[in-house]
A and B are shown apart, each in its own frame.
Chain A
Amino acid sequence: MSEQLIIAGKPYHSRLLVGTGKYKDFAETRAAIDASGAQIVTVAIRRTNIGQTAGEPSLLEFLPPEEFTYLPNTAGCYSADDAVRTLRLARELLDGHQLVKLEVLGDPKTLYPNVIETISAAKVLVKDGFEVMVYTSDDPIIAKQLEDIGCCAVMPLASLIGSGMGILNPWNLQIIIENAKIPVLVDAGVGCAGDAAIAMELGCDGVLMNTAIAAARDPIMMAGAMKKAIEAGRESYLAGRMPKKLYSASPSSPTSGMIG
């Protein structure tokens, strides 16, 4: 399909964005990402190991930044200040790279986003020249505010991070999609390929996931399933579904020419 996802002015043929956490090792990370066809991969920014483990392989060796678009995140940040600080380090780390994923959490138990801190971080980051893809709740008003601030994509949750509960409020997602002039991606909560297809059929521009692939029994097979689900869901959305009716007096086979 020729139609592409445009984020911050750059086209991508894959509408599936994937995380790089929770895999057995870097080889499995790489194999799963290859199977997913994803072009944008999220990474976390953490303290470098100092000392005995200094020589161990790094994620970047398995996923060269020349091959993938890195999306550094602010996972684990609970304040706007920490999130901004993390992404400034990420920009330095990745040679001035501006595309980032902002997430500010409100609670370590549920990992529910703190939208107030998220909004204040988004303002600072946009002003500072970042292209901000922002993780948020499925509140349509907050999503619109984040767009108005200048974020380049809004990423409401389907359900809580790592829960695999699927899309809990398709109606809110529909309102967000209907109101948005920037790409809307579902981020978090997708559990299986069916969930990803539903997100795309709702009209989402893409889906970002990590645990649904990494925590599958066979992550590489699931990565392939997700790729197909995203493509199928997108085509189903574009093709336009038939209207739902409680029943139909219009069978698929002709009513004339019956024997007897």
Chain B
Amino acid sequence: MKISINGNVKQFDDEALTVSALVMTLNLTGKRLAIENNGEIVPRSQFSETKLQDGDMLEIVGAVGGG
């Protein structure tokens, strides 16, 4: 399935991909981040039970320097 992550479309073979599995695949485990899927926030507590679907659009954000 294809998932858009921060504006880039990526192909995944796993059809039962969860948000937490995706975070692990992207080497982001343990990083402080927030995730939005199709405009809705996915709470961290629900990463492991939230399944992704073909065409999902994810935004993965963190805190950076700013004024």
User: Closest approach, in angstroms, between the C-beta of B60 and any C-beta of chain A?
Assistant: 5
The answer, yes or no, to whether A46 is at the interface (CB within 8 Å) is yes
Which B positions have Cβ atoms within 8 angstroms of A?
5-8, 26-28, 31-36, 39, 41, 43-44, 59-67
Query: Given contacts A88-B41, A92-B41, A93-B34, are A47 and B67 in contact (CB under 8 A)?
Result: no
The answer, yes or no, to whether A70 is at the interface (CB within 8 Å) is yes
Inter-subunit contact A72/B6 (CB<8 Å): no
User: Closest approach, in angstroms, between the C-beta of B40 and any C-beta of chain A?
Assistant: 10
- Residue in B26, B27, B64 whose beta carbon sits within 8 Å of that of A46 in the complex: B64
Provide the residues of chain A in CB contact with B31, threshold 8 Å. Answer: 48, 54, 58
The answer, yes or no, to whether A194 is at the interface (CB within 8 Å) is no
The answer, yes or no, to whether A23 is at the interface (CB within 8 Å) is yes
- Residue in A20, A50, A210 whose beta carbon sits within 8 Å of that of B26 in the complex: A50
Provide the residues of chain A in CB contact with B60, threshold 8 Å. Answer: 47-48, 50
A44-B65, A54-B28, A85-B36 are known contacts; what are 12 more A-B pairs with Cβ within 8 Å? A23-B65, A42-B66, A46-B61, A46-B62, A48-B61, A50-B6, A50-B26, A58-B62, A73-B66, A89-B34, A93-B34, A211-B67
Provide the residues of chain A in CB contact with B6, threshold 8 Å. Answer: 47-48, 50
Nearest-CB residue, chain A, relative to B29: A54
Which A positions have Cβ atoms within 8 angstroms of B?
19-23, 26, 29, 42-48, 50-51, 54-55, 58-60, 70, 72-73, 75, 85, 88-90, 92-94, 161, 208-211
Provide the residues of chain A in CB contact with B67, threshold 8 Å. Answer: 19-22, 42, 44, 73, 75, 161, 208-211
Inter-subunit contact A75/B66 (CB<8 Å): yes
Give the residue among B5, B27, B34 with the most A Cβ atoms within 10 A: B34
Give Cα A161–Cα B27 distance, bound, in whole angstroms. 36
Inter-subunit contact A59/B64 (CB<8 Å): yes
Nearest-CB residue, chain A, relative to B44: A92
Give Cα A103–Cα B15 distance, bound, in whole angstroms. 40
Inter-subunit contact A45/B26 (CB<8 Å): no
Inter-subunit contact B61/A94 (CB<8 Å): no
